[in-house]
Amino acid sequence: MKMILHILLKDLRRQWREIALYVLVSADWAWLSTHPGSWEWMRQKNMLPAVLFGLWVFIVIRAVQGECLVGDREFWATRPYRWWQLMSAKVLLCVAVLNLPLTVAELCLLRYAEIPLTAALIPGFLFLQLMFFMVATFLTSAIAAVTETLVQWLLTIAGMILFAIVLSWFPWDKLPPTLNGEENSAGLLGMAIVFGALLFLVVWQYARRGVWPARAALAVAVLTVPGMILLAHVAMVRAMAYPVATSPEVQLTVQTSADGTRTYTRKGPPFGNPEISIPVAAVHIDPHMVMSVEGMRLHLAGDHGWRWDSGWVNKSFWLGEGTSETDLDFSMPAAVMGQLPRVHATATVDLAYVTYRLTREQRIDTSRAKFEIPGVAQCRWSGSNRFEMAVPGLRCEAPLRLPGIVKEEMLARESTCSQAERDNVTPNHYAVAVQFGTDGIPADFDMDPVRELQMAFGSWLPLVPVGKEFMPARFCRGTPIVVQTGHMEERRQSSFTLGAIGTEWDAGAPDEGEE
C-alpha cells in the first residue's frame, strides 16, 4: 500500500493543474445545476458535462501514459515496479480525483433536491461511480495502454470513428428491425466480450508490456461492435430474449362497436405502403400486471395457402388495468391490402413484451407544498416553471433511479381542478400515467443523480373527444393519486388469434384516406 500511495502522490504532483481544473468545473456544474438562471445558464450547464468528460479523459490518458506501457525507452520500465502496485496507483488516482469530486457534486444535487442522504443510497452511488469508472476511465485507459502519446490516443479514436463511418455504409437497413430485448441480449454478450478483451489488454500491458497481444485484444473489442449488431438479428437471440409464454398474461381481442361489428381502419399515406390499423383490447388482464409491448408481428393466412407476414416491427405501448385498448398499425404492400377481402384472410398477431408486476399501492395526499411518495420520490409544488414539468408547478424527484414501473392513477371525481378544466368529464372518468424506470441496477447511468417522476397523465379515460383531440387530464394540487410501484418480471412473446380480417372489413369497415 505504501508504494501505491508513493506512486499516487507522484502522479498528483505531476497532474495537479488538470485535477484542480476538473474539481473547479465539477463544482461549477453542481452550482449551476442548483442555481437555475437564464438561457446563458442553460447553455453553460449543458456544456459543462462535455468539458468534465474531456478533462476526465485527459487526466486518465496522462495518468496511464505517465508510466507509458508502450515503447522501450520508458524511465520506469527498468525499475522495480510491481505491476499490480502501478496499476492500483492509477486506479486509485482516477477514483480519488475523478469519481470522488463527481460524487460530492452529485450529493450536492441530491441535497438541493431535498432528498435525504441515507445509507440506502450507498450501493447506488457505488454502482454509479463504478459505471463511470468502467465507461470513462477503463475504456480511455485501455486505449492509453497501447499508445504512447495523447496524439496517438486521439488518432486511435479517429481510426475507430472512421471504422464506424465505414460500417455505417453497410446496408444495415436491409436487415429486419431488432427489438429491445434482442439488442439487450446481444449487447450484454458483446459488452462481456469487449470488457473481457479490454481487461486482458490492460492487465497484460501492466504485467507484461507486450504490445501485440494487447493490440489484438483491442481489435477483438472493436470488431465485437458490428458483431453485436449482427448477433441481435440471429433468430436464436430472439428466442432467448423473448421465450414463448406457455400461458399468455392477457387475451387479445379485436374491439367491436356497439352493434358487435369489427371496424378496421385502412390508412393510405401519400408515400410508401398503406397501413392497416387493428383496434384491439386486452381482456382478463391481471390488475397487478402491466404489459409493455416492444414489438409485434402480423401473420395473415387465407384461401388456397395464401400467406403474408409483416415481420417483426418495433412498437412501444403498454396494456394494463384501465388502459387495455390500443390500435395495432401494420404497413403492408398495396397488393396484399387489395387481396385481403378476396382471400378470406385470418389474422394472428405476435407480441414481444415485458411484464411488470405491481407490488405496492399507496394513496398520496398532494395538498401539501411538499409531499412524499414513499420509496419513490419527493415532490414539491412551486410557482416556478423553470424546469420543463409534465404537471405545471409540480416537481417530483427521486435519487439515482425510479422503480421499474411507477403507475399513478387519479379519479375525475376527486379532481381539485376547476370544473372548466374537466368539461364533459364524468365522475367515473379516470387518468393513468405510467413511467418505466430501471430494473436490476441500483442507479441510472447519468451524471445528474436526480431522476424526475413525470406524472404525464395524458387524456381522461374513457376518451372524451374535443374536436380532433381528446380531453387532457389536468392534475391539480390536492387531487389525491394512487401510486403503484413494481418491478420488471420477464420478457415473453405470445401469439393471439384475431380471426377473420378481410371479410369483416368488407362487411362494414369504412375507408379512411386513399390508398
CB of 209 to other proteins, least distance (A): 8
Between CA 459 and CA 481 the distance in angstroms is: 15
Between CA 475 and CA 313 the distance in angstroms is: 34
Residue 268 has phi, psi (to 5 degrees) of -115, 90
Strands 289-301 and 307-309: antiparallel
Residue 168 binds to other proteins (criterion: CB under 8 A): no
Binding residue for other proteins, selected from 1, 38, 40, 72, defined by CB under 8 A: 72
Binding residue for other proteins, selected from 35, 82, 360, 413, defined by CB under 8 A: 82
CB 289, CB 320: distance < 8 Å: yes
Contact region with other proteins (CB under 8 A), list: 8-16, 234-242, 303-311, 450-458? 8-16
Binding residue for other proteins, selected from 2, 174, 363, 468, defined by CB under 8 A: 2
Burial bucket for residue 35 (CB in 10 Å: 0-12, 13-18, 19+): exposed
* C-alpha 119 chain-centroid distance: 26
Residue 293, C-alpha cell as written in the block: 409491448
Contact region with other proteins (CB under 8 A), list: 77-85, 137-145, 448-456, 471-479? 77-85
- Cell 465505414, located at residue: 166
Nearer to other proteins, 2 or 363 (CB): 2
CB of 75 to other proteins, least distance (A): 5
* Residue 290: how many other CB atoms lie within 10 Å: 29
Nearer to other proteins, 145 or 293 (CB): 145
Binding residue for other proteins, selected from 74, 275, 439, 448, defined by CB under 8 A: 74
Nearest in space to 238 (alpha carbons), one of 290, 180, 190, 191: 180
Nearer to other proteins, 211 or 447 (CB): 211
CB 242, CB 492: distance < 8 Å: yes
CB of 74 to other proteins, least distance (A): 6
Residue 287 binds to other proteins (criterion: CB under 8 A): no
Residue 18 binds to other proteins (criterion: CB under 8 A): no
Kindly identify the residues of this chain, within the stretch 29-68, that bind other proteins according to CB under 8 A. Answer: 66, 68
- Cell 352493434, located at residue: 259
Binding residue for other proteins, selected from 38, 39, 40, 75, defined by CB under 8 A: 75
Residue 17, C-alpha cell as written in the block: 493543474
Nearer to other proteins, 2 or 304 (CB): 2
Residue 28 binds to other proteins (criterion: CB under 8 A): no
Nearer to other proteins, 62 or 487 (CB): 62
Torsion of CA 286, 292, 297, 301, to 10 degrees: 10
Nearer to other proteins, 79 or 468 (CB): 79
Binding residue for other proteins, selected from 31, 41, 58, 83, defined by CB under 8 A: 83
Strands 511-513 and 265-268: parallel
Nearer to other proteins, 79 or 363 (CB): 79
CB of 90 to other proteins, least distance (A): 15
CB of 1 to other proteins, least distance (A): 12
CB of 4 to other proteins, least distance (A): 11
Between CA 438 and CA 400 the distance in angstroms is: 10
Nearer to other proteins, 7 or 453 (CB): 7
Between CA 222 and CA 133 the distance in angstroms is: 19
Residue 142, C-alpha cell as written in the block: 485501455
Burial profile 89-120: b = 16 or more Cβ within 10 angstroms, e = fewer:
bbbbbbbebbbebbbebbbbbbeebebeeeee
Contact region with other proteins (CB under 8 A), list: 80-88, 98-106, 353-361, 472-480? 80-88
Residue 259 binds to other proteins (criterion: CB under 8 A): no
Helix (H, G, I), strand (E, B) or coil at 132: helix
Residue 219, C-alpha cell as written in the block: 481489435
Nearer to other proteins, 15 or 323 (CB): 15
Residue 468 binds to other proteins (criterion: CB under 8 A): no
Nearer to other proteins, 78 or 168 (CB): 78
* Residue 426: how many other CB atoms lie within 10 Å: 11
CB 146, CB 69: distance < 8 Å: yes
Residue 429 has phi, psi (to 5 degrees) of -70, 155
Per-residue binding string, other proteins, 196-215, x by CB under 8 A, is --------------x-----
CB of 63 to other proteins, least distance (A): 13
CB of 131 to other proteins, least distance (A): 32
Residue 57 has phi, psi (to 5 degrees) of -60, -45
Binding residue for other proteins, selected from 31, 41, 81, 317, defined by CB under 8 A: 81
Contact set with other proteins (CB under 8 A): 2-3, 6, 10, 13-14, 66, 68, 71-75, 77-83, 210
